[in-house]
Structures are given as structure tokens and as C-alpha cells.
Amino acid sequence: MKYQIIFTLNNEKVQHEVEANKTLLKMLREDFDLTGAKEGCGQGECGACTILVNGKPVNSCLMLAVEADGKEIVTIEGLSDGEKLDELQKTFITNGALQCGYCTPGMIMTAKGLLKENPTPTVDEVKVAMSGNLCRCTGYKRIIEAIMEVVENNKN
Amino acid sequence: MNKFNYFKPSTLTEASEILRKYGENAHILNGGTDLVVRIREDLLNPEAVVDIKGIEELHHINYNEKEGLTVGACVSLSDMAHNEAVVKHFPVIADSAEVVGSGQIRNLATMVGNNCNASPLADTATPLLALDANLLVYSPEGNKKISIHDFFVGVRKTSLKTGEIVIAIRVPSYTSMKGVFKKASRRKDVDLSTVCTTVVRINNDEIRIALGAVAPTPIRAKKAEGFAKGKDLTDEVVHQIAKLAVEDATPIDDVRGSKEYRLHMVEVLVRRSLEELRY
Ligand SMILES: Cc1cc2nc3c(=O)[nH]c(=O)nc-3n(C[C@H](O)[C@H](O)[C@H](O)COP(=O)(O)OP(=O)(O)OC[C@H]3O[C@@H](n4cnc5c(N)ncnc54)[C@H](O)[C@@H]3O)c2cc1C
Ligand code: FES
Ligand code: FES
């Protein structure tokens, strides 16, 4: 059986039919072609699937697609305005905060959620907020630096 | 994931009816951080999943001196941990919630789910045990209150019957209460407890100690509590209480730690907590 859901996806109202046994991550990737969010572990451990639901970062691999009904969802694809990148996307590039890039959409969405709640966190607060996102390439240093550059800009 | 029917009722009565209709093949979906993982790993094969987040009354959290703190079933761990009344009156509960998983997990997961899951290592279970919390439960026969001390029956087993739904957790208020939550895990963040403890001091003369991940259910260290009653927390007394706390623990060896390590950590965490509670 399929279930009707209506939700906001990257600022657009959408209507969709989906099976109950499909994760939100899978629906975004397969039905909407939004392949930014990735499946790393599929069990809430790695953060590669992080998206914003009602402004808060969550693991989309742990939500059922049907649970999106009535929610406001933002994926990495919804951050940029056409060719104009979001500030976190820019500082990730200028700081070289990515190598293979697999973890990057999740990293940026988690950081986005943090900065929405607190535009000027300390380095330690950033580290705690990012603890649910794993990266096998960078060693994290540049990721933290990229986020702190946005934090510094927010202070001015 | 195998196929299942998804229900999102807007009342407890309706939810309970579906749960009774499907019996043991139905599962309540709250934050889903335990349930969805278990379904994905084929540890569970439900016929029906009953999402209770459409029931408005389960989203409330409030505090008053007479009744204490009432945390609705669907309040997320992060909303609870940042709630003003929780931070002010029950910081020990907030501390235990803030170490569950990651920020992303805490935006989904709930304290009621953490306890209904009945894992011996549930981090938020230890402050609730130490503070004599109650679960407010919807039952087809009429609402009831279950003491947290009667709630955990075994690993992943609670005393809830088919069709019963936890509405909220209620923690009584205390005029003078200080508590310390501690957790030992393999890595600092996003890891399950190898051992977790909550030690509270009430009215400066009563010590309560709750231990997680050292028995089939979270437990209270009754021997140590009895010994501590009315005593000044001198160095000598603190050491003796911490040693006695180990006696109620019956841990096992597993991937997170050996039996011996767990027993040792009970003593260390309880001692450190008592040292903090002296001031
Ligand atoms: C990556 C990861 C890390 C984690 N780290 C920790 C950790 O550090 N510490 C820790 O303690 N836990 C941890 N967990 C476990 C989990 O996040 C918690 O147990 C969580 O609090 C469960 O709440 P939930 O709302 O998501 O429950 P759900 O998964 O929705 O439900 C859990 C169980 O409770 C039942 N249930 C839920 N609500 C009710 C109700 N109102 N009435 C009756 N039954 C109900 C469900 O049917 C299910 O059996 C982790 C999980 C993941 C995936
Ligand atoms: S894929 Fe969701 S947390 Fe790893
Ligand atoms: S850049 Fe490769 S996993 Fe982070």
C-alpha cells in the first residue's frame, strides 16, 4: 500500500505517494533525485544522511519517508541559490575541508543546523555538534576551520 | 525492510485499538532511533507500525512544584535537555540526555522511547530510577501510573501490556536535590555506555545511586544507599559507599567491556560523583 504525503522540500510544496517501508533518505535519493545526502552506515552512526527537518539536523536514514508528511525539509541541494553558494559551501571549498566529498553534504547540513540555533558557537561547541558526522579522509581539522570561518564572519 | 502497514492515529484510544488488533506484530513508532534500526536490520518484522507523533497531548512538557516534571512521550531529547525547567530543577536528567548518541539522534529520539526500549544501558534510565519517577500510562482499562521501579522487567522487556502506551514520564519535585550523571564509554561521543551511573543527594542526608549496563535492567545500589543514610561524606565514607555500590552489580562481558572493568568503573564513577556532591 502507498501513502499520500504532502511536505515542503527545499522551499517547494510537494505531494508524493510512498511505501511505508522506505526510509526518508531513500525517497529523497530515488524519487526526487536529490543524491546529496548519502547512505554511509544506515544506522544513525555516520551522519552522511543528515538533512534539516523543521530546521533541525536529523539522520534521514532513521526516518520513514511517510514521516515527512507535513514537515519542512531542506537538503544540501536547497542551500544554494542557483549558482550562488551558501557561505558554508564556500568556506568548505576555500579551506579544502573535503577530499572524497562523501561526508560533506552531511557535515554542512549539521553545521547549518547548529549555526541556525547559535550563530557564534565556540570551537568546542562546534566539535560537540559535529560529533555525529564521520569523515574518513580529512582528519576533521579543516572542517572545523571552515565552520569557524563562518562563525567569525557572523561575529562582525 | 519488509512491508508493513503504517498508521498515524490522532488519539490514544485509536492507537491502542490498532495495537490490540495486531498484537505482538504491531510496534509503536516514536523517534524511531531504536525501532527503525531494528526493522532495517530484520530484528523485527512488524505487520503494523503505529506512529504516535500525531497525538497532540504527547508533545507537552511542563513543570510545577506540586506534580513535578512531566515529559510527554514525544518530546525529543534535545528539546527536553534545553527546557528551562529541566535545566533549572533537574540538570542531572538534562546531562544524561545530552550524551545519548549525536545531536541528530537527539533531535529524533525521546526519553520515553529510551526507557520503553528497556536496554540495560539506557542513559536516561539512571536519573529516573534515582529520582523515583513514574510512567503515566494509557491503558484500555483506564489510565494508570507505573513506578519506574516496576517498569523494567528484563533486557528489552517492560511491564507494559498489549495496547498500553506511555503518555509521559513524571519526576517528583524535591526541595533540595543535587545529582551527578556519569558515563564510561569506549569513545567520548556517540557511543553506548559501558557503564553509566547517577548519584543524587537529597536533603543532604539521603544518597541514591542508580547503575546502568551492569545488570539485565538498570538498577539501584541499595546496599550502598543504606550504608550512606545520614552519614557525612568524609573521604572514608565516600570510599566505602563506592565499594558497596559494586555489590549490587552483576555485569557481563561484551564488546564494550569485561565484567571486571565494569565493576571497577562502577566504583570509580560512584566515588567521583560523591566527591562532586560533597560541595
Ligand atoms: C547512533 C545511535 C546512537 C545511540 N546512542 C545512545 C546512547 O548513547 N545512549 C542511549 O541510551 N541510547 C542510545 N541510542 C538508542 C536510542 O537513540 C534511544 O534509546 C532513544 O532514546 C529511543 O527513543 P525513540 O523515541 O527514538 O524510540 P523508538 O525507536 O521510536 O522506540 C523505542 C522502543 O520503545 C517503544 N515505545 C516508544 N514510545 C513508546 C510509548 N509512548 N509507549 C510504549 N512504548 C513506546 C517502541 O515501540 C520501541 O520498542 C542510540 C541509537 C543510535 C541509532
Ligand atoms: S547513513 Fe544515516 S547516519 Fe549513517
Ligand atoms: S571527505 Fe571523504 S569522508 Fe569526508
Q: How far, in Å, from the CA of B192 to the mean position of ligand 1?
A: 12
The yes-or-no verdict on residue B77 having pLDDT over 90 is yes
Model confidence over B243-252: pLDDT tens digits?
999 999 998 8
Task: Find the CB nearest B108 among A19, A62, A110.
Answer: A62
Model confidence over B126-155: pLDDT tens digits?
999 999 999 999 999 999 999 999 999 999
Question: Quick one: DSSP state of residue A31?
Answer: I
pLDDT at B204: 84
Q: Which domain holds residue B161?
A: 57-171
Q: Cβ of A63 under 8 Å from any chain B Cβ?
A: yes
Last residue of a domain, one of B171, B204, B219: B171
Percent of chain B whose predicted confidence (pLDDT) is above 70: 100
| Same-domain status, B211 and B167 | no
Q: Are B181 and B198 in contact (CB under 8 A)?
A: yes
Number of neighbours of residue A6 by Cβ within 10 angstroms: 12
Last residue of a domain, one of B139, B156, B171: B171
Q: Are B51 and B29 in contact (CB under 8 A)?
A: yes
What is the Cα–Cα distance from A24 to A74, expressed in whole angstroms? 12
Q: Using alpha carbons, select from A149, A62, A15, A23 the residue that is nearest to residue B105.
A: A62
CATH of the domain at B210: 3.30.390.50
| Same-domain status, B98 and B137 | yes
Q: Are B119 and B155 in contact (CB under 8 A)?
A: yes
Query: All domains of chain A, ordered by start, with CATH?
Result: 2-78 (3.10.20.30), 87-155 (1.10.150.120)
For ligand 3, mutation pick of A138, A141, A147 (most atoms within 8 Å of CB): A138
Q: Cβ of B33 under 8 Å from any chain A Cβ?
A: yes
Last residue of a domain, one of B126, B151, B171: B171
Ligand index nearest the alpha carbon of residue A103: 3
Number of neighbours of residue B236 by Cβ within 10 angstroms: 10
Name the average pLDDT for chain B.
96
Confidence grade of residue B188 (pLDDT, cut at 50, 70, 90): confident
Report chain B's C-alpha Rg in angstroms: 19
| Same-domain status, B229 and B260 | yes
Cβ–ligand 1 distance for B137 under 6 Å, the answer no
**Nearest C-alpha of chain B: how many angstroms from A16?**
16
Q: pTM of this prediction?
A: 0.96
What is the Cα–Cα distance from B123 to B181, expressed in whole angstroms? 9
CB contact under 8 A, A44 and B105: yes
CATH of the domain at B127: 3.30.465.10
pLDDT at B150: 98
| Same-domain status, B44 and B78 | no
The yes-or-no verdict on residue B110 having pLDDT over 80 is yes
Q: Are B170 and B69 in contact (CB under 8 A)?
A: yes
Task: Find the CB nearest B104 among A21, A57, A69.
Answer: A57
Provide the number of structural domains found in chain B: 3
Residue ranges in chain A whose pLDDT is less than 50? none
The yes-or-no verdict on residue B25 having pLDDT over 80 is yes
CB contact under 8 A, A44 and B32: no
| Same-domain status, B160 and B187 | no
| Same-domain status, B152 and B77 | yes
Residue B21's identity, in one-letter code, is: K
| Same-domain status, B144 and B216 | no
| Same-domain status, B43 and B82 | no
| Same-domain status, B34 and B86 | no
Model confidence over B191-235: pLDDT tens digits?
899 999 999 999 988 999 999 999 999 999 999 999 999 899 999
User: By mean pLDDT, which of B14-23, B88-97, B252-261, B267-276 is the weakest?
Assistant: B252-261
